[in-house]
């Protein structure tokens, strides 16, 4: 059994962001974003050295550190989960962020960069493309337990600038038992991998079919006014809000840091955007809320 020496003098200001995830999903971008936000960052630190690194930086008065850990240290990954629990028990604010992406997106990125996957030598397939897919699936298997205890960000359709913005918003949220992340999306581009709950609002009246509303979004007053007049929209909002209020205490007791509620419509422009904005506003008095609009943010 691994033995660790307790950290002394840990304060509420001390914070560790642990960046993990699938190779090619944007961990380097995330680490640079945290560095710009004032974190002291280190890449590919073996988990066995994490405690010594935190102690060293604490002695230097570095209260916000970020560490990237990935599958290159796969043999040490079983140490990481109990270490996270131990550090939290000692009062350290540890926030694991897991970056993920669809297999298609990862294959495209590796093909464009022409870099080998860290596990490619362990994949048995003779065909290059097939070997890459097998390496990605092997990595998903190795990191599955870590993903389950982390806040997940799906980077499949995110430009680096948008990923940096989302990372800054996550770490910038004030401390709370649980932060609600509301995300709108278009079903035609796929369901976000980081969703904890997914609500399909394609059954609601669609402003897209009203000519003057078509170029607008769910953030525009005229679109909101139209949707507010639809009884189905009011019923959907009431039922989603009631569901969340019923179950949020259970997620808080489970020590979840973030809960991502994804709301999808056909194009991610009108209905899902309006519901996300409305729900975030209604629940802001009870929870810390963050808002993402996957399709709209990608345009900006």
pLDDT (average), residues 162-166: 89
Structure tokens at 124: 């048995």
Q: What is the pLDDT of residues 40-80, one digit of tens each?
A: 888 888 888 888 888 887 666 657 889 998 877 766 778 88
The pLDDT assigned to 53 comes to 85
Query: Which pTM was predicted?
Result: 0.75
Closest CA to 186 of 300, 25, 99, 296: 296
Cα(263)–Cα(257) distance, integer angstroms: 20
Closest CA to 30 of 150, 123, 132: 150
Pairing of strands 40-43, 15-21: unpaired
For residue 24, with 0-12 CB atoms within 10 Å meaning exposed, 13-18 middle and 19 or more buried, which class applies?
Answer: buried
Average pLDDT taken over every residue of the chain: 86
Residue with the larger pLDDT of the pair 219 and 285: 219
The pLDDT assigned to 1 comes to 40
pLDDT (average), residues 270-292: 95
The pLDDT assigned to 130 comes to 62
The pLDDT assigned to 173 comes to 64
Cα(260)–Cα(181) distance, integer angstroms: 5
Q: Which stretch, 63-72, 270-279, 286-295, has highest mean pLDDT?
A: 270-279
Place of tokens 């073996």: 46
The pLDDT assigned to 111 comes to 86
**Fold of the CATH domain 15-172:** Rossmann fold (3.40.50)
The pLDDT assigned to 62 comes to 59
pLDDT at 125 over 50: no
Q: Which of 12-21, 152-161, 232-241 has the lowest mean pLDDT?
A: 12-21
The pLDDT assigned to 257 comes to 79
Give percent above pLDDT 90 in the chain: 49
3-state secondary structure the chain: CCCCCCCCCCCCCCEEEEEEECCCCCHHHHHHHHHHCCCEEEECCCHHHHHHHHHHHHHCCCCEEEEECCHHHHHHHHHHHHHHHHHHHCCCEEEEEEEECCHHHHHHHHHHHCCCCCCHHHCCCCCHHHHHHHHHHHHHHHHHHHHHCCEEEECCCCCHHHHHHHHHHHHHCCCCCCEEEEEEEEHHHCCCCCCCEEEECCCCCCHHHCCCCCCCCCCCHHHHHHHHCCHHHHHHHHHHHHHHHHHHHHHHHCCCCEEEEEEEECCCCCHHHHHHHHHHHHHCCCCEEEEEEHHHHHHC
User: Where does the pLDDT of residue 116 fall: very low under 50, low under 70, confident under 90, or very high at 90 and above?
Assistant: confident
Pairing of strands 258-265, 288-293: unpaired
Q: What is the pLDDT of residues 194-252, one digit of tens each?
A: 999 999 999 999 999 999 999 999 999 999 999 999 999 999 999 999 999 999 999 88
Q: Where are the domains of the chain?
A: 15-172, 179-299
Cα(277)–Cα(184) distance, integer angstroms: 9
Structure tokens at 274: 């309006």
């Amino acid at each position: 059994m691994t033995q660790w020496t307790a950290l002394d003098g840990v304060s509420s200001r001390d914070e560790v962001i642990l960046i993990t995830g699938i190779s090619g999903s944007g961990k380097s971008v995330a680490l640079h974003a945290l560095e710009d936000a004032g974190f002291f960052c280190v890449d590919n630190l073996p988990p066995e050295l994490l405690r010594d690194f935190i102690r060293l930086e604490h002695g230097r008065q570095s209260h916000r550190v970020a560490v990237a850990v990935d599958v290159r240290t796969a043999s040490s990954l079983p140490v990481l989960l109990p270490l996270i629990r131990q550090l939290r028990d000692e009062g350290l604010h540890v926030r694991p962020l897991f970056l993920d992406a669809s297999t298609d997106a990862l294959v495209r990125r590796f093909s464009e960069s022409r870099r080998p996957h860290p596990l490619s030598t362990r994949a048995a397939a003779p065909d290059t493309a097939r070997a890459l897919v097998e390496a990605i699936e092997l990595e998903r298997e190795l990191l599955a337990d870590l993903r389950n205890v982390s806040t997940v960000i799906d980077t499949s359709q995110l430009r680096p600038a948008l990923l940096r913005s989302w990372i800054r918003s996550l770490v910038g949220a004030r401390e709370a038992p649980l932060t609600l992340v509301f995300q709108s999306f278009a079903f035609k581009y796929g369901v976000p991998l980081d969703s904890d709950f997914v609500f399909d609002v394609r059954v609601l009246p669609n402003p897209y079919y009203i000519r003057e509303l078509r170029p607008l979004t769910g953030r525009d007053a005229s679109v909101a006014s139209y949707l507010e007049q639809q009884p189905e929209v009011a019923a959907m909002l009431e039922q989603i809000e009631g569901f969340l209020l019923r179950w949020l205490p259970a997620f808080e007791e489970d020590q979840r840091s973030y809960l991502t509620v994804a709301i999808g419509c056909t194009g991610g422009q009108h209905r899902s955007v309006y519901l996300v904005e409305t729900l975030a506003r209604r629940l802001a008095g009870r929870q810390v809320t963050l808002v993402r609009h996957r399709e709209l943010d990608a345009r900006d």
